[in-house]
Amino acid sequence: MANKIYPILLVFLCFACFPKLDKETYKKYQNSGQEITANVQAVLLSNVGKAIQTGGTEYAVEFCNLEASSIVDSLKGIFDCDISRVSAKNRNPLNALSTVQEKLMWELFANEQLADTVLQRGNDLVYYKPIRTGMPACLKCHGNPETDINAATKQKLEQLYPNDLATGYQLNDFRGLWKVEFKREL
């Protein structure tokens, strides 16, 4: 019984703590968040796909270590917002859940209470959307270390991410959150 009440309580607490947005503003920023995350994800997946073709998954791990953050950062200017990925099972320590809001959102998405959402934080708005292991290729770096990830890739992951938590996933598992922060002048 407590397992069913906990997610409901989280939803209540989360939305009770943040001001309610009018329907028009919510929809506008939800649509913007969806468009931005779709574009950023497409750019990342395209680059990771090219890296895999160039040198296999171990090369893709190295590519991500060196380039993924700068790719996301370069798109921030295009979309005029802050874009990040956060996870309780992060690979990059900079992507760890660090705020109460992120931790609440993680719980809600992990318990499948939300699809995507927009929250107000002061004058700013924050859009969250789940990241899933959407393709079999994702499992070559994020799947089961014993069956999905080859030895060279495991070695590269251990070398570049000694505290890696981002493995053990199956196809379509919830893996993280896109977080898009919109600055607003009111």
Name the residue ranges covered by the structural domains of the chain: 21-182
DSSP SS3 for 177: strand
pLDDT of 117? 94
> Which residues, in sequence order, are CB contacts of 179 under 8 Å at separation 6+?
82, 83, 84, 85, 86, 102, 126, 127, 128
Query: What's this model's pTM, rounded to 2 decimal places?
Result: 0.87
pLDDT of 9? 46
Tell me the mean pLDDT per 10 residues along the chain, length 186: 48 55 94 97 95 96 94 91 96 94 93 89 94 94 96 97 96 96 83
